[in-house]
Chain A
């Protein structure tokens, strides 16, 4: 099994984000981490390797500092890491990023499964995996809550997908692109051995030439979508009205009065 897991480095979920008048987003001294959704994809990739053999390569498009996210993935148990970056890729949007990742996956070659977290917590689009699947011409199995069966010899897979109304069971032939939801597993902590391995690992950087990316399709200048402004949420107006009463029944009645007066129930 040749498994690729894609990850993105993002600000920590507990970070307090600030945005200035020029739409620059900052997060103080909060660390950059592996996108939390990707931890489930990394764990699932490692479990597939442990069960079926093969190799897990973790892949990220990002600047030099994204190396840390890749090392963290290797410390969890991925075998190899590849950083895809050069200055021309900076500012790529979802359409371009799916192209860059698909080109990198093609260069890795003979991949059976590509795994993603369901979305990155900064851009929050959840569009990359579908774009990558389409570019590779492979089925997209998104929002997977369980890999029920995988037969490397028959190159077949059966998954359970978590949708709004319930769970869809889907089978497919490999290769496939999968995105996973949190329910699929409990990500492991890095092991001492793997942390040592990660600290010594030489992570290659593939530039746009290495993956045959056309310059006119990537980078900020060619992005189809442009973020024109980033700003904080409007403050909630008014403060909380605390409902009190002599008994739970009196409180319930007073609260019901308020909600009915607002016509929300």
Chain B
């Protein structure tokens, strides 16, 4: 059944966030002959519109008003709700990021409709869409439907859907719209943005993650983890034990009380793999475990394991990858 779908493309510093295009690719597949409209706001929105059309949108709606330069829920929700009310799509989709959650939670109120957050697969069953999402911190899965309210709102988990291939030959209509709120109607003001460290890879978008746990032994123990990550252009993760010990900032924590990640490759160094850690990384495609303890639960999740000292194995791996990948 054809569905008309509105996709919100999340942007950061004038570029689309990769997971938005994963969401767009899934929208294209689900549309089944319907129209996919992408909406993007803020700096550089017009050129992102061209890119979104290449990634599968039929149309784009852009607004580059200064009030939308930095993400804030108030003006973003107001404008997206207006667009949704004008277009009356069957579905609104967005990536399940921090901004994605902020946008759709407000949008659901304005449109008085249901939201299925953080989904990992979507299947058409007759005229219904059956959406699967992890629940209970990733320990179980649930299928969820929105039987009657329209539009349905669905957010997609980062890296759960493939990035579509861009086709530069695709064309589509780009419409410019005005903002709904003026600056004096917006209570919150963004005063700055600082990144965690130059060249850091965002954990949720990372294709490869190298993580350290209790076994790294101290803050300096993360040096070989960071070096290994660098050799693979990977993000650096950590278990709760390492974060609670103060060896590495919380922003790196993977697990039930940290970030949920699903990279292609997750290299766990000195991580025992408690159930709470597994909750954050069990959807990784391939897990490599390096641990001294052959009984560590992480080995049950791993495709490859090395029973040994991470301080010997990690540097050897770093050298090996440098040699092979030329980095």
Which residues of A are at the interface with B, using a C-beta cutoff of 8 A?
Answer: 11, 13-14, 17, 19, 23, 25, 36-37, 93-95, 98, 121-131, 133-135, 138-143, 145, 158, 161-173, 176, 181-183, 223-233, 236, 238, 240-243, 247-249, 251-253, 255-256, 258-260, 262, 264-265
Whether A256 and B193, one on each chain, are in contact in the complex, defined by CB atoms closer than 8 angstroms, is no
A130 in contact with B73 (CB, 8 Å): yes
* List of B residues within 8 angstroms of A125 by Cβ: 101, 115, 117-118
- Find out whether the CB atom of B286 lies under 8 angstroms from the CB atom of A259: yes
B109 x A135 contact (CB < 8 A): yes
Which of A127, A165, A167 is close to B202, meaning CB atoms less than 8 Å apart? A165
Query: In the complex the two chains form, is B306's CB within 8 Å of A162's CB?
Result: no
The 5 closest A-B pairs by CB, nearest first: A130-B105, A224-B114, A252-B316, A166-B195, A248-B316
| Cβ-closest chain A residue relative to B133 | A124
Across the interface, which residues of B come within 8 angstroms of A158, CB to CB? 191
- 9-residue interface stretch from B31-39, B42-50, B60-68, B135-143: B135-143
Query: How long is the Cα–Cα vector from A228 to B144 in the complex, in angstroms?
Result: 6
Expressed in whole angstroms, the Cα–Cα distance for A34 and B321 within the complex equals: 45
A167 is contacted by which of B140, B188, B193, B312 (Cβ under 8 Å)?
B193
* CB contact under 8 A between A166 and B193, given known A139-B187, A240-B299: yes
Contact in complex: B306, A169 (CB < 8 Å): no
Q: Which of B241-277 contact A (CB under 8 A)?
A: 249-251, 253, 256-258, 264-265, 275-276
Contacts A/B (CB < 8 Å), 5 sampled: A142-B73, A164-B98, A166-B193, A247-B316, A255-B304
- Given the known A-B contacts A130-B102, A253-B320, are A95 and B303 also in contact in the complex, defined by CB atoms under 8 Å? no
Chain A, residue nearest B202 (CB): A164
Known: A162-B98, A164-B203. 10 other contacts (CB 8 A): A93-B114, A94-B117, A95-B112, A125-B101, A167-B193, A170-B188, A224-B146, A224-B148, A265-B208, A265-B321
Name A182's contact: one of B141, B188, B257 (CB within 8 Å).
B257
Q: Are A127 and B104 also in contact (CB < 8 A) when A223-B114, A248-B308 are? A: yes
Interface of A is mostly: mixed
Give which listed residue, B135, B193, B307, B313, contacts A124 with CB less than 8 A. B135
A23, A125, A129, A256: which has the most chain B beta carbons within 10 Å?
A125
Cα distance A127–B282 in the bound complex, in angstroms: 23
Report how many residues on chain B are interfacial, defined by Cβ distance under 8 Å: 98
A224-B187 contact, Cβ under 8 Å, with A122-B135, A242-B305, A243-B305: no
Asked if B289 contacts A167 (CB within 8 A), the reply is no
Residues of chain A within 8 A (CB-CB) of B114 are 93-95, 223-225
Residue of B nearest to A135 (CB): B109
* Residues of chain B having any CB pair with chain A under 8 Å: 12-13, 17, 70-74, 77, 97-99, 101-102, 104-106, 108-110, 112-118, 130, 133-149, 187-196, 202-205, 208, 232, 249-251, 253, 256-258, 264-265, 275-276, 282, 285-286, 288-289, 294, 299-308, 312-313, 315-317, 319-321, 324-325
> A111–B139 Cα gap in the complex (Å)?
36
> Assuming A172-B188, A255-B306, is B115 touching A139 (CB within 8 A)?
no
Contact B136 A95 (CB under 8 A): no
- State the CA gap A183–B146 with chains docked (Å): 35
Contacts of A127 in B (CB 8 A): 101, 104-105, 108, 115, 117
Contact of A228 among B115, B145, B253, B300 (CB under 8 A): B145
A230 to B118, CA, bound (A): 15
**Known contacts A142-B102, A164-B98, A249 near B134 by CB under 8 Å:** no
With A134-B105, A240-B302 as given contacts, are A233 and B317 in contact (CB-CB < 8 Å)? no
Check B188–A264 contact: CB distance below 8 A: no
A131-B109, A233-B282, A241-B305 known; A265 and B137 CB under 8 Å? no
Partner of A171, one of B13, B116, B191, B208: B191
Q: Residues of B contacting A173 with CB < 8 Å?
A: 187
Bound CA–CA A23/B142 (angstroms): 9
Residue in B106, B147, B232 whose CB lies within 8 Å of A133? B106
The answer to whether B320 and A256 touch across the interface, beta carbons within 8 angstroms, is yes
Judge whether B317 and A256 touch: CB under 8 Å: yes
Assembled-state Cα–Cα distance A143/B143 (Å)? 27
Contact A183 to B250, CB < 8 A, known contacts A255-B304, A256-B321 = yes
From B102, B110, B142, B194, A227 is in contact (CB under 8 Å) with B142
Known: A93-B114, A182-B257, A240-B300. A169 touches B140 (CB 8 A): no
Q: Is the CB of A164 within 8 A of B204?
A: yes
By a CB distance below 8 angstroms, the chain B residues around A17 are 136, 139-140
A243–B136 contact, CB under 8 A? Answer: no
Q: Is the Cβ of B190 less than 8 Å from the Cβ of A225?
A: no
Closest to B301 in A: A236
Q: With both chains docked as a complex, state the minimum distance between the C-beta of B315 and any C-beta of chain A, in angstroms.
A: 8
